[in-house]
Amino acid sequence: MSKTAVSRDIKLITIGNSKGLRLPKALLQKYGWSDSLVLEETDEGIYLYSKEKNKLSWQETYRAMAAEGEDWSDLDVTVADGLE
């Protein structure tokens, strides 16, 4: 699975004494965002995500991983490394 980043130019808008972000409608629809988000600040930057954690079940996760068709054969050498 590869990670790709998409850059967008967005403007800060004045809201009273604060600043806000205007997010494109297509982006809101893509992620199912409506009224509120969680903002998480990390060393790498900030993350925005919905309060409703749309986590996959274990079965859904397995299906998604199987659909990727990744080749894990390079890990077969770990069987012969003598470690339990």
Taking only the tens place, the pLDDT of each residue in 8-55 is 888 899 999 999 988 888 888 888 888 888 889 999 899 888 877 666
2, pLDDT greater than 60 = no
pTM beyond cutoff 0.85: no
Q: Is the four-CA dihedral 64, 70, 75, 77 of positive or negative sign?
A: positive
Q: How far apart are CA 39 and CA 23, in angstroms?
A: 14
Count CB-CB contacts under 10 A for residue 48.
Answer: 13
The H or E element containing residue 14 is strand 12-15
- Angle at alpha carbon of residue 45, lines to 40 and 51, rounded to 5°: 20
